[in-house]
Every structure is written in C-alpha cells, then in structure tokens.
Structure 1
C-alpha cells in the first residue's frame, strides 16, 4: 500500500499487506510453512495447534485396512488427498507391503478427488481414471453412484476425518466400503498453546484465526467448551475476529454454528494467504483525522500509509475514541478501557501521552479541558468510511 501524505505531496513507503495484524494458526501439519508465509507479509503469528496427527507407520488401523485390501482387492479406490495417498504407499513400503498394495490397487479403478491426489497416484506408478473439476468429495460420490456400485468393493482413503455421508450412500447403493484412515487427528498432547491462543482471541489479541482442516475447527470449539468459553469464543468469531478457512470443507463446522468465514476460491494454502492479504486490510477502520488518514489495524495504525506500532494500552484507547470519532470521550470511560482497570484517571493522561508518541502525530488526539479526549476528525472530510468486519469482502 502506498498512500499520499495529506497536505505534503509525499508518499509513504509500502507497508506489507498484513502488517499490524496478529494471525492465529490452529494447524498441526504445515504450520511452519503457513506461519512463514504470513510473517513475510508482515503479520505477527501466534500458533496453537488444535490437533495432532497419528504417525502413519504407528497406525495399527491403517495396517489392518491395508492387509484387508491386499487379501481382497478393491474394485475401486478413491484417493482424497495427495499427502494422504503418498503416506499410505510409504507406510505400506515400510511394512514390506508396498509392491503388493500397488499391484492390487492397479487391478481396479482409481479415482482422484483433485490434482494433488492425481499427482500422488501417478507418482506411485498407478493411473487415475477420473477426477472432478470441483475437487469435491460430493462430486466423486455422484460419479460413483451414476456409474453403479452394487456389489463392488470400494476403498475410500480418508483425509483426517470420517466421510459418513459418502460411506453411507455407497453402502445403501449396494457397495462394500473399506475405509482407509491414512492419518488420524487426535486432540493435542499439550493443550497449553491452544488455550493461550483462545485466550488471546477472547482478549482482543488476535485479529484473524486461520483453519486448514475441519477437525481443527471442531477441536478448537470442543476445547473451548471444556473450559466454559465456547459462547465467548463464538461471539468473538462472529464479531471482531475473522475466521479464515482454506476451503468450504474446513469452514463447515464453523458455518454450522453461524460463524461467518472467509475462504479462497481454490482450497490451497497459498491461495488462502493471498485472500487474507485482501480481506484483512478491508476490515481496517479508516478515519480522516487532523489532516491525516488514520487506519486502525490490530496492534498498529497506519498514518498516511506509514506503519506505527502501538502498545496494547494505546490501541485500547484508540478503539474507544474511534467508536465516536470527533466526539469527546470522558476520562472515566477511557479508564475502563485500559488493561488492568484501576481508578486513577491520571493513568489515562499517561496512556494518551504514550499513544501520541507512538502514532507520531500529537494532534490526532485532542485534549478537551475538564471533559476528556477526542479524535480530531476533519469536519470537511464528509461521511466517515467505516470499513471494519461488517463490510469485509470474501465473507461467506
């Protein structure tokens, strides 16, 4: 972003699109990759994995399913994820069953849910017969039912969670379904980081919460319920905190409880981050103040496009002042907004002084003698552009 400085004709240096925002990461798998992408775009990242993954080679359930399919080969195999299918083949090789598994799968029809699954199938030496453009399990199911499955043995590679609708529909159509749990999600062994992430969401320390799997969303809500915080968490996700999901399958558990979500058109990690680059700044509050353009982000402001980090106390004051820009806010009300509370109104004066120093433009916040403080809203600026989460694009 490059913004002209009001009244001076100069331009501020470009600011990374996610600078000033704190993004929570709930992912277990590829969390470091996601965090790196976010940080490169200026975000502060807080990680609290909502799940842990059972290692493939240690999964007795996967071994049992693999042996059953080698003993009685499937007529059709459905690969739902690339990493899952590759992991299945690698685990079978580790058990000395790799060649046998490839042989029996090759005798039947192999379907891929999407391009990554197709790539893994071909990398193993097999050939996929069909893949939907939508990358949807529902479209795979429709294809199978349309082709007829009565009497067929169908192996369905799961992707971290059960697919009860697909399994039930196939069974009702006369198929024998073998579920292949290539990797399984379990609650995190240490819930401390997840609890700290939830607490940060509830105290306004997180602006965006990212989800890369439906089980992670369900696990976060379940853990919040155990702590008696589910209602508070839902209120935050329905209000100031954006729930950013990698795709519609991931978003489903949140949408089921009326949490609005943002998601990219393609269910990819990179696409999710690129979508967030657009959606997060669109939720910021813009105000014409004292001849400048003030943009409020999570833990920072932009003054004429220049990034100004602001301490939590200062941001708390600024948000209260921005609710009624141009109007006086009494010291007592500002005092209630300060972290830690207290009853000494001199704490407000100190906090305002530090806020002015942080934003670098003292005239943005005006003192109104014996009454309080206000943002020096430009009277000739016209209607105030609100921005904020209520008008954000990309929400579904």
Structure 2
C-alpha cells in the first residue's frame, strides 16, 4: 500500500466526480486513494464569440471610464483579454487596465493578472467568495458613486450585484464566457442513473456549474426527484465555500466541505472523512425510513345527501342555522403532535401521494378539533408536477420550482394537465376520506387560483416583491395570458375531478393575488377567474379566498364564488356591507391563537358581533394555523364559536 493510501483510503467505495477540465487528474487521484472512480464530465466552457459587453468594457477602460474592476476567475480574466484584443491593441488596453483599481477574488485571477504583468490593488482573503470581496472593499475603499465592473463567471450572482448597488456603486456586468453541457452526455446520464439506482457512495463537486448541469440533465431524464432523494443515502462533498453555497441554493445536501479548495487536497481529505460519514449517514437514513405501518382505508359507497343540511352547507347557501360553523385552514398541520410524528417518517410529497395517509391526517384533524368541515390534505402546487417544471418541497425552504417559466417558448412547451392520469392519488384520497369521515361532516376540496399557481411557476419559490411575475406579466401580455389559460384549464379539470370524487365544496386559494392593484387584477387575472368559476357546477359551493385583498374584494366577488374568504386585515362587518348578498368566511388573525384563552374569546366575540348573526357566516382564520399554535387553543376556539354563536 502506498503512502497516500495509508493517509487516506476510500476503501473501494464508489466515488463519482463531475470534473471536466481536469478529468484525467481526478481519475488518477480517486484511484490513488482507493476509490472506484466514475468521472462524468458535466460542462464545457464556451467563450462568447461576439461579446459586446466585453468590447464595450475594453473601450471604457482605455477611455478611463472604468474606476474599479472586480475579477472573479482566472479563466474569465484570460478570456476577457482575448476578446478585447480583437479590437483594441493588447499594449494599449493593458496600459490603461493597470491604472484602474483591480480587485481579485482569489489566487487564480491574481495569477492571470501576473501573466499580463499586472498586480491587483486588492485581493480578497480566503475562502475567496463574493462575500470576502465585499468585506475587503468595505475595509479598503468606498465604492459609492464609483463605476464598478464585475467580470462574471458562468452563473449570474444577483445577490453580489445587489450588495454592490446597495453601497452606491454604478455596477456593470462583464460576462466573458458561458457554460454548456458536454456534447456527449452518455457518461453524465449513466452517472445520474447510477445515483438514482443507489450504485454510488460518494459524490464530489468541484465547480458550481456542475450542480446546475447535473440537475438539468436529471430533469430531462425525468429523474430529478429520484436523484435528490438518493442523496440522502450518499455523501456529498464540496471543494469549497462557493460550491457549498450553490449546493445549498439548489436544495442539495453538503456533508463535507474541503478545508483547502485545491483538487489534490480535496480528494485526500475526502478519502479520510467520507467513509465514516457514509456509514453514519446510511445508519441515520435507515433509522428514519423504517417502514411505517399504514392503515388501509377501503373505499365505501357514500351519499352526499347526508351532509347537505349541515351548518357549513347551510351557511354556503345563505340559509339560517342554529350556530356559526367553523373550520380551520391548515387544520391538519405541524401544530398537531400526530402530524409531526408522521412527517418525521414521511416526506411531504409522499404523504400527499399516499391516499391512506392523506385520509388519516384529514379525518384525524376533523375528529380531534370538532370542526364543522374537513378539508382535503393536499397542496395547491401538486398540479405543477405533471406540468414538468421541477416541483420539490425542500426542507426548511418550502416549495421550489427548478425550471421557472419566464419565456414565451417555455409557456408553449407546457402541457395541459390531465388530472385523471397524473393526480389520481388525490381523487383516491377524497374517496377514502369521504368513506371514513363522519357522514354528516362536509369535505372541502381545494385548488390554487391561477394567479398564485402561475406566480410560483414564474418566481420559482416564495417571493416578497413578485419581481419575475410582474415583469413577465407587464412585458409579454400574450404569453402571460397563454400561461394563465393553461393553468386555468388544468385547474378546472382538477376541480371537476375532486367534485366527482366526493367533495361537497371547494376552496380556491389566491394567496398571492393581494400584490396586485385593482386595475391589474381586472386586466391580468379577472378573465381567467371568471372562466374558472363559470366552468364549475353552481350546486357545489366555491369559496374564493385571498390574502391582503381588501382592495380587490368586489372584483373577486364579481369573478365568482358563493363564499368570499377574508383575511384578518379587513373588517368583516364593513366588508359584508360592501359586498352584499354573499356568504363570508373568516377572519381571525392566526396569531391570536398564540395568546391566552381570554384574548381568544374576546377576538372571537368581536368577529361574531361584526357578522351580526347574518346567514352565511363561516368562521375561520384569516390564513393557515401556525406551527407554533397550541392545539388546545384551536380546540378552545371551536368551542367558543359554537357557544357564542348559538341561536
């Protein structure tokens, strides 16, 4: 055994690397340290042949109009010079370039500058991420009102640009090369299949772009979900902070980060620590994935007539009842111990897709709380999975869309969902819930409203300002309408399938529509909502719910729905006076349930008094119950509503 193997040994484990430029060196290193190596090149660098930004940058340097230049990579620095010297003499450019304030992110751009006979004014310290660049700039110079040029390296770093602008800089990007997939994808595809099949032990990433290219190919092969899940049983190694940051942003695990961002030291360190990490990780996975006992809920015949005279259904029809009915948005959720225990063993998407488990959590929540209606356990974004946009539920980050839809071409490629083929598990869950729920308790189905679903598709995740959604909406009216139409048509089919399967009412969640002005709602959303509601049977009550929609309520009522859902930001009584003859649902602030019973009772009484015992009030929160909420407070709320509204 050679010296290296004494110092570190993969012990025959299967190690996969996605290295491209130094593939042969990586193969040699992995073999030397006792690994069974798989090298699957995942990228190639292609200079921009007609890089106008680089040429314009070169002219500005010569004219003395570039005050600060931040160089992010060595390869990019070299390519930058190659592009510029096609139009500007090399000596002329370098003479002016040396007079600017040059900032090097790390040793590679320093070396590239050295080859040109130039020394940078500022060098970022280790670990050489953009954050260190910001920190050293803050220490050394003011960039306020300065013209700052950033040589980019493949993937745009919006956060870095944003931070520079926050400091008052006038920032210009200088992209000099782009990353492409290899022309021959056979090795990369085989490596992805091996990961999904569990035929890999360790994955090593040495470049941020490798991550995105691997996920792109996995997605094209329909294997993205399987690839991500398989990483729970493997060790994922990162060569340094930049790669780790991109792994995190992509929702992938980081089990090991090298102390030295050099390939030889990275592989050696990996051989020392990864075998033990793998053993620990697989033990943990086996412990967490012990087969849980799933109770089988057989489907039985059910007649919806039994709950037609329930307090909830009467309220939907504006008929009098002996008390105000109540149900709670997200009533089967993380605030319940039983739900948390189940979720510790089952991923969210798996829970949604298992009709027996979905039945169990739906029925359990209704029985435990004593609410007047049950709501199907599901998620508004399930409809996106068959549309092929890469839906994932990342731990701690919520839903993520890995292929956001932001162009006309992307819209055109989207299919209309056929829910009977791709969402049959939802319909099966409804039939099972309806078979085992109290026969007098109505079951509420639900779907996301087109605007909210489309916003997720365009943004790719939760958003605070809806930048991508609104810019797309304003920029390309035709593509926006085409996208909304596709989601609307898919939603109509999905809701009709739920009604056919046995729900008594449906709630349409428009959680994000409150970001729009009334005029924008009327132009970009209203026609699609009108189509949706007019395509559904009037015999099934529709609850039209949105948040922060005080300015939109009249338009939403006009769009459709027998029941209007209110959040806590509006006065229920005044809203009812404004809207006229329609049932209302709401509208306790979810945070009230984190207080004491006296406060909960006072706030409950206030809302009931605003309703003035009018026919058609359904008590609910203004949004979903929060995970921190004590379950006894929710039960107390249900009892208070029943008691205080008794008539």
- Give the TM-score band, short-chain normalised: 0.5 to 0.7
Q: 2:205, 2:190 → 1: CA distance?
A: 16
**Is contact 1:254-1:261 (8 Å) kept?**
no
Matched with 1:267 is 261
Q: 1:60, 1:44 → 2: CA distance?
A: 45
Matched, 1:89 2:87: no
Higher relative contact order (CA 8 A, sep 6+): 1
Q: 1:226, 1:277 → 2: CA distance?
A: 32
In 2 relative to 1, CA 94–138 (structure 1 residues): closer, same or farther, beyond 3 Å?
same
Q: Secondary structure of 2:177's partner?
A: coil
**Is contact 1:167-1:177 (8 Å) kept?**
yes
**Is contact 2:17-2:39 (8 Å) kept?**
yes
Q: How does 1:345-360 map to 2 (within 5 A)?
A: none
In 2 relative to 1, CA 269–63 (structure 1 residues): closer, same or farther, beyond 3 Å?
farther
**Is contact 2:54-2:84 (8 Å) kept?**
no
Q: 2:278, 2:137 → 1: CA distance?
A: 46
Matched with 1:75 is 67
Matched with 1:237 is 231
Q: 1:14, 1:142 → 2: CA distance?
A: 40
Q: CA deviation at 1:63?
A: 4.1
**Is contact 1:238-1:258 (8 Å) kept?**
no
Matched, 1:278 2:272: yes
Q: CA deviation at 1:277?
A: 1.5
Q: 1:15, 1:106 → 2: CA distance?
A: 45
Q: Which has the higher strand share?
A: 1
Q: How does 1:39-118 map to 2 (within 5 A)?
A: 39-55=31-47, 62-71=54-63, 73-93=65-85, 97-118=89-110
Matched, 1:139 2:132: yes
Q: 1:61, 1:28 → 2: CA distance?
A: 27
Q: How does 1:1-396 map to 2 (within 5 A)?
A: 17-55=9-47, 62-71=54-63, 73-93=65-85, 97-134=89-126, 135-145=128-138, 147-239=141-233, 241-256=234-249, 257-283=251-277
Matched with 1:10 is none
In 2 relative to 1, CA 209–238 (structure 1 residues): closer, same or farther, beyond 3 Å?
same
Q: TM-score, normalised by structure 1?
A: 0.62
Q: CA deviation at 1:20?
A: 1.1
Listed one character per residue, the Cα deviations across residues 328-387 of structure 1 (whole Å, up to 9, x for unaligned) are xxxxxxxxxxxxxxxxxxxxxxxxxxxxxxxxxxxxxxxxxxxxxxxxxxxxxxxxxxxx
Q: Max radius of gyration: which structure?
A: 2
| Unaligned stretches of 5+ residues in structure 2 | 287-647
Q: CA deviation at 1:271?
A: 2.1
Q: CA deviation at 1:283?
A: 4.2
Q: Secondary structure of 1:234's partner?
A: helix
Q: Secondary structure of 1:39's partner?
A: helix
RMSD (Å) for aligned C-alpha atoms: 3.0
Listed one character per residue, the Cα deviations across residues 60-105 of structure 1 (whole Å, up to 9, x for unaligned) are 6544543454455411111222233233334444555422321222
Q: 2:11, 2:114 → 1: CA distance?
A: 41
Q: TM-score, normalised by structure 2?
A: 0.39
Q: Which has the higher helix share?
A: 2
Q: CA deviation at 1:217?
A: 0.7
Matched with 1:5 is none
Larger CA deviation: 51-60 vs 185-194: 51-60
**Is contact 1:24-1:47 (8 Å) kept?**
yes
| Unaligned stretches of 5+ residues in structure 1 | 3-12, 287-295, 297-319, 321-396
